Amino acid sequence: MRVDLEIVGQLIKPKSRILDLGCGDGDLLYFAKTKKQATGFGLDNDAKNIQTCLEKGVNVIEQDLDNGLADFDNQSFDLVIMTETLQAVSKPEQLMKEMLRVGKECIVTIPNFGQIFCRSNLFFSGTMPVAQHLPHNWYDTPNIHLCTLKDFEDLCRKLQVKILTRKLFDRRFRPNKFLKIAPNLFCSHAYYHLKR
Query: Digits of tens for pLDDT over the chain (196 positions)?
Result: 677 788 888 889 999 999 999 999 999 999 999 999 999 999 999 999 999 999 999 999 999 999 989 999 999 999 999 998 888 888 999 999 999 999 999 999 998 887 777 777 777 777 666 666 566 665 666 666 788 999 999 999 999 999 999 999 887 777 788 888 888 888 888 999 999 8
**Which of 177, 106, 119, 107 minimizes the C-alpha distance to 148?**
119
Ranges assigned E (strand) in 101-161: 103-111
All structural domains of the chain with their residue ranges: 3-113+145-195
- CA neighbor of 161 nearest in space, from 100, 109, 98, 120: 100
DSSP assignment letter at 12? P
Residue 95 is predicted with a pLDDT of: 94
CATH of domain 3-113+145-195: 3.40.50.150
Can you give the pTM of this predicted structure? Answer: 0.87
Q: Is 105 left (phi over 0), alpha (psi -120 to 50) or beta?
A: beta
CA–CA separation, 122 and 184 (whole Å): 16
Please give the Cα distance from 108 to 151 (Å, whole number): 14
**DSSP-based helix, strand, coil % in the chain, nearest 5:** 35, 25, 40
